[in-house]
Amino acid sequence: ANIEVGANTPALVVDDNAWIDALGWDEKAQKVLREHTANGRLTKIPAKQKKLVVVLRWLATKFEAERMYTEPDVNAILKAVDDEDFVLLRRELVDFGYLRRERGGGKYWLAPVEDAAKTSDDE
């Protein structure tokens, strides 16, 4: 999800990171989001699992608790932040326990917070 800006394209003056502050997460997590997003969109998927988990945790905030989503619903939410790698992100959200998926893949839902991957602040 690399975003290339042409030489004649004016750079955006405001990089709106207010949403990152609004999450109220620790500084390490905020730094990961600042490094991997621009204006609320994912610019690259982190290679390191620890950073990927921060991105997945952020993506999980885009889903409502106790609501069922179809696969197209999930894709639409993820395409809003990364229209190239949304399938990979959907799979990672399930693999890391942020989203649950019905057998056969028809319905998705947000996993309870305590079930999702834990990140350690002491590393």
pLDDT tens profile 97-119: 999 999 887 899 999 876 555 54
> Is 70 exceeded by the pLDDT of residue 52?
yes
Q: Which among 38, 45, 5 is positioned nearest to 20, based on CA atoms?
A: 38
Tokens 């750079």 locate to 11
Q: Which among 112, 105, 103 is positioned nearest to 70, based on CA atoms?
A: 105
Please tell me the predicted confidence (pLDDT) of residue 56. Answer: 98
Strand ranges in 1-123 using DSSP code E only, listed in sequence order: 37-38, 41-42, 69-70, 99-101, 107-110
Residue 6 pLDDT class (50, 70, 90 cuts)? low
> Is 80 exceeded by the pLDDT of residue 75?
yes
What is the model's pTM?
0.79
